[in-house]
Structure 1
Amino acid sequence: MKTKMLKLNYKKIIILLTFCLVFGAKNFIFAEEKNLILGGQKGWPEFSVSDSITFGKGRFGYKSVQLATNARKKTDNTDLLLDFEKASVKDSTQKYYTEKNDLLVIFNNSVMGHGCGLSRGRGNGIKLKGAPGTIFGTEGNTGSFAIEFWLKPSIAENGEIIFSWNSSRTINSYVMYQMILATFVDSHVEWDFKNIFDGYTDNKGEVVLKSYSTIVPDKWAHHVLMYNEETGLLEYKIDGHTEDLKYLTSSGHERGTIYQPVLGLPDSITICQSYTGSIDDFRILRYLAGDVASSKTESIQSLSGEKYDTYNVTGGRFETKPVMTVPGAVLRKIDVISSVPPQTDIRYYIRTGDNFFDWTDSYPEWKSVKPGEPIEQMSGKFFQIAADLFPDGDGRNTPSISEIKLTYFEPPLPLAPARVTAKAGDGYVDLFWEYSLDDTAAGYLVYYGTRSGEYIGTECIEGVSPVRAGNVNSIRLNGLKNGAIYYFTIATYSKLDSKIIGRFSDEVYARPGKAR
Structure 2
Amino acid sequence: MRAFHCVVLVSFLGSAGLGAESVEFGTPARPDFTGVRLQGTELFRGTDATRDIRLQPRSAHMANNLLYLDFDQELPHLLRDAAGRYQVLQANYIVSPEGRARRAALFSRLENRVEIASPEELWPGLLPLNDFTIEMSIRPIFFYRRNVIFQKTTLLDGEKRGLEIYIEGEHVIVSCWQLFEGSDGVRHTVQLRSHTSLKPNEWVQIRLSFEAARGRLALFLDGQESHVVRAGDSGGVWQAHFHPLDRSPMILAESYAGLLDEFRILGRASGEGGNTQYAAAQIDNDRLAGHQQSGVVLSEVMPGPDRFGAVHAHLAYEGEEPDASMLNVWVRTSNAPFSTDTRESELAWRRVPVAGMDLGDFRYLQWKAELKSDPGGNYSPILKSLRLTYESMRAPTTPRELRVVEGLTDPDQVGLEWVRSPEREIDEHGGYFVYIGLRSGEYAGRIQYVVRDGRAVPIRFEGLERLPLSTAEAMEQRLRPEVIRRLLDNRVRLVVTNELIQQNIALDPRRRLLPFLRAGEVLYFAVSAYNGRGGESELSEEVFARLRPR
TM-score using structure 1 length: 0.46
Q: Give the TM-score, by structure 2 length.
A: 0.44
